Amino acid sequence: MVKLRSQAWFDDPHDPGMTALYLERYLNYGITRAELQSGRPIIGIAQTGSDLAPCNRHHLMLAERVKAGIREAGGIPMEFPVHPIQETGKRPTAALDRNLAYLGLVEVLFGYPLDGVVLTTGCDKTTPACLMAAATVNMPAIVLSGGPMLDGHWKGRLAGSGTIIWEGRQRLAAGEIDYGEFMDMAAASAPSVGHCNTMGTALSMNSLAEALGMSIPTCASIPAPYRERGQMAYRTGLRIVDMVREDLTPRKVMTKEAFENAILVASAIGASTNAPPHLIAIARHVGVELSLEDWQRVGHDVPMLVNCQPAGQYLGEAFHRAGGVPAVMRELLDAGLLRGGALSVTGRTVAEEMAGAESQDRDVIRPFTEPLMTEAGMLVMSGNLFDSGVMKTSVISPEFRARYLSNPDDLDAFEGRAIVFEGPEDYHHRINEPSLQIDEGCILFIRNCGPVGYPGSAEVVNMQPPDELIRRGVHALACIGDGRQSGTSASPSILNVSPEAAAGGNLAILHTGDRVRVDLPKRRVDLLVSDDEIAARRAALPPLKLNNQTPWQALYRGTVGQLSTGACMEDTVAYQDLVHTAGLP
Ligand code: FES
Ligand code: MG
């Protein structure tokens, strides 16, 4: 039996004065002294849901089942709020708040009388923010996702979160639908409580949390309104109490092997391009070395097995009924790829957990030998414009291949005329400007959209072609930028470019009209001008002007790193394993 840190607040024999002070206020809503001094684990429930955070709002109800589980197992639950992060609500971008929620949660976990924590996750950044904090503090922690919404339907076919918005925008631009129909399409994709039902960033990150071993198997995929979701909440509450008794901490679960498993699963599910920075950030806070090179080394050759939008066809309900993450991991285990010895929060190994899993629908979760696509992982590009940029190969469409590649069956090299936008506002103002003469051979660039430039990094690299091109049937141009793109987008952009223009990257010196060569086999993107010309343009760059709208934006910009290394606040990474290294506050 480990000594509980909460007893240093509630039952310190050497300091009755402080014990009395700590105790009395927690009694004032009905908890008894006997409970708080019983030596029962005190379990935090990190509540990410609220009216402002609808993707996670369901957790307000699920918390009751979590508490029932905690009580049943002999623990005492204490629910507390996490800074809200709503992907679709926060301006200028929810990405700005991932590190803020992280910092806040670290302070709560470290500074209050908690022995373990249930991390309620869901909407995109809530999952990495919670896992980063648990990693830093290294207190027993378990993930409970809220689950995807039910499948959306519009006019007799599936309407997936985000993906239907990208389609609706194109149809509106082409004049095929009007404003009202566009709004109806959007609403149809959100039929119930829960987070995005496509394999966007939310379902990707919750699936990867499960692949890391941080949630009970099948947790990620259960749709929010299903009865199994409430049952999973109860089981998660039960389990965290024993995890405290076993001292099963995040550092024992989130090992290098666990991160390699997550990368394997990321390729197999066709995960969001937001997954690499988030997973790298979690790894850095738990003290595991993980780089973009690991993504390519471990993940690139892995086939895509999950047939979900945006890369595939189906949505969350089908994914769950087909077996969810365990069925995917079983395929990877049988193929000899999965690191089966990695530990799960259940206390068993991944191999033990996956033994009984099996795909229940082989069109939704394909056998390893009949994938939707081979070599479905991320490509890491570099060149004279940037050190690294990520490309999700699973969404390179036949149309794109036919337009840009000489042999559509093979990824090869292409050149294009650069069209450069200074950010999303500039893009929206000028994309239909006839003088730009944008044609199907152009490459669209967007800059000043990285962590420092935006700030937070904007999901804008998936730029829609001009209306005129869409009307002619050109649905995607090659796009490159120092921002991110939505995980629900099927655009084969090169994004997360690091260093960003605002941090000294060469994207800043690009001019509209420049020729750029993209060589996919060599994984290079190069501006076709001389080194002397590059140096001259760098010397002529005007000084950077950044406009901070809030105090946090100023703090964030002063400390944040690049997307290639997780966009962490660099000074925070040194603080690790706080429960054991920093002692009691
Ligand atoms: Fe919250 Fe997609 S917007 S999960
Ligand atoms: Mg997003």
The phi, psi pair for 555, rounded to 5°, reads: -60, -45
Report yes or no on 555 lying in a domain.
no
Report yes or no on 391 lying in a domain.
yes
Higher pLDDT, 51 or 394: 51
Stretch 271-293: mean pLDDT? 97
Q: Which ligand is nearest to the CA of 485?
A: 2
Radius of gyration of the chain (CA): 24
pLDDT digits (tens, 9 = 90+) for 400-418: 888 888 877 777 899 999 9
Domain shared by 198 and 336, yes or no: yes
Residue 52: pLDDT band with limits 50, 70, 90: very high
| Secondary structure (3-state) at 154 | strand
Report yes or no on 548 lying in a domain.
no
pLDDT the model gives residue 1:
52
Instruction: For residue 349, give Cα distances in angstroms to 213, 242, 346, 466, 519.
Output: 9, 16, 8, 51, 41
Q: Which ligand is nearest to the CA of 149?
A: 1
Range of the domain at 157: 152-190
| Boundary residue ending a domain (190, 213, 244) | 190
- Asked whether this complex has an ipTM greater than 0.85, the answer is yes
Q: Is 385 in contact with 511 (CB distance < 8 Å)?
A: no
Ligand 1 atom 1 nearest Cα: 123
Residue 394: pLDDT band with limits 50, 70, 90: confident
Ligand 1 atom 3 nearest Cα: 87
How remote is the CA of residue 165 from the centroid of ligand 1, in Å?
13
DSSP characters over 339-391 = -TTPBPTTSSBHHHHHTT---S-TTTB--TTS-SBSS-SEEEEBSSS-SEEEE
CATH number at residue 67: 3.40.50.2300
Regarding beta strands 494-498 and 515-519, do their DSSP bridges make them parallel or antiparallel, or are they unpaired?
unpaired
pLDDT the model gives residue 393:
82
Atom number of ligand 1 nearest to Cα 488: 2
Which position has the token pair 């908690």? Answer: 114
Gap between the Cα atoms of 377 and 231, Å rounded: 34
pLDDT at 290 over 90: yes
Domain shared by 6 and 75, yes or no: no
Q: 118 Cβ partners below 8 Å, 6+ apart?
A: 43, 44, 45, 46, 66, 70, 141, 142, 144, 236, 237, 240
User: Considering the chain, what is the average pLDDT of its residues?
Assistant: 96
b/e string for 498-519 if b means 16 or more Cβ within 10 A?
Answer: bbbbbbebbbbbbeeebebbbb
How remote is the CA of residue 53 from the centroid of ligand 1, in Å?
9
pLDDT digits (tens, 9 = 90+) for 209-241: 999 999 999 999 999 999 999 999 999 999 999
Domain shared by 93 and 64, yes or no: yes
Gap between the Cα atoms of 525 and 519, Å rounded: 6
Domain shared by 171 and 316, yes or no: no
Q: 122 Cβ partners below 8 Å, 6+ apart?
A: 48, 49, 55, 56, 58, 59, 145, 146, 147, 194, 195, 202, 206
Domain shared by 142 and 249, yes or no: yes
Residue 97: pLDDT band with limits 50, 70, 90: very high
Report yes or no on 563 lying in a domain.
no
| Secondary structure (3-state) at 511 | coil
Gap between the Cα atoms of 421 and 444, Å rounded: 8
pLDDT digits (tens, 9 = 90+) for 513-563: 999 999 999 999 999 999 999 999 999 999 889 999 999 999 999 999 999
pLDDT the model gives residue 369:
97
Report yes or no on 300 lying in a domain.
yes
How remote is the CA of residue 484 from the centroid of ligand 2, in Å?
9
Gap between the Cα atoms of 181 and 551, Å rounded: 40
Gap between the Cα atoms of 81 and 460, Å rounded: 30
Neighbours of 242 (CB within 10 A): 18
Residue 392: pLDDT band with limits 50, 70, 90: confident
| Boundary residue ending a domain (354, 387, 416) | 354
Domain shared by 65 and 162, yes or no: no
Q: Which of 88, 193, 485 to mutate to test the pocket of ligand 1 (most atoms within 8 A of CB)?
A: 88
Q: 414 Cβ partners below 8 Å, 6+ apart?
A: 404, 405, 406, 478, 517, 518
Q: Read off the tokens for 269.
A: 């599910």
How remote is the CA of residue 315 from the centroid of ligand 1, in Å?
14
Stretch 333-342: mean pLDDT? 98
Gap between the Cα atoms of 170 and 573, Å rounded: 42
Query: In terms of Cα–Cα distance, which of 360, 217, 379 is closest to 302?
Result: 379
pLDDT the model gives residue 295:
95
Name the strands in the sheet holding 442-446, side by side, starting at the edge strand that comes first in the sequence.
Answer: 378-381, 388-392, 494-498, 478-481, 442-446, 413-421, 515-519, 524-527
Query: In terms of Cα–Cα distance, which of 315, 274, 21 is closest to 147?
Result: 315
Report yes or no on 574 lying in a domain.
no
| Boundary residue ending a domain (354, 389, 422) | 354
Tell me 219's DSSP state.
Answer: T
Residue 567: pLDDT band with limits 50, 70, 90: very high
Residue 186: pLDDT band with limits 50, 70, 90: very high
Three-state SS across 401-440? HHHHCCCCCCCCEEEEEEEEECCHHHHHHHCCCHHHCCCC
Q: Give the CA diameter of the chain.
A: 79
Report yes or no on 509 lying in a domain.
yes
How far from each other are the two terminal CA atoms of the chain, in whole angstroms? 22
Gap between the Cα atoms of 437 and 309, Å rounded: 32
Q: Read off the tokens for 428.
A: 């929206």
pLDDT the model gives residue 124:
98
pLDDT the model gives residue 2:
60
Domain shared by 347 and 207, yes or no: yes
pLDDT the model gives residue 484:
95
Domain shared by 60 and 28, yes or no: no
Question: Crossing angle for the helix pair 201-211 and 324-334, nearest 10 degrees?
Answer: 60
Domain shared by 251 and 286, yes or no: yes
pLDDT the model gives residue 228:
98
How remote is the CA of residue 170 from the centroid of ligand 2, in Å?
19
Q: How many domains does the chain have?
A: 4
Gap between the Cα atoms of 433 and 430, Å rounded: 5
Residues in contact with ligand 1 by the CB-under-6-Å rule are: 55, 87-88, 123-124, 161, 195-196, 200, 202
Q: Is 460 in contact with 483 (CB distance < 8 Å)?
A: yes
Atom number of ligand 1 nearest to Cα 54: 1
Stretch 88-98: mean pLDDT? 97
Q: Which ligand is nearest to the CA of 487?
A: 2
Domain shared by 99 and 160, yes or no: no
Report yes or no on 240 lying in a domain.
yes
Instruction: For residue 285, give Cα distances in angstroms to 53, 557, 565.
Output: 25, 19, 11
CATH number at residue 444: 3.50.30.80
Ligand 1 atom 2 nearest Cα: 196
Q: 510 Cβ partners below 8 Å, 6+ apart?
A: 385, 418, 420, 445, 447, 516, 527
Domain shared by 330 and 422, yes or no: no
How remote is the CA of residue 161 from the centroid of ligand 2, in Å?
10
pLDDT the model gives residue 395:
79
Domain shared by 308 and 318, yes or no: yes
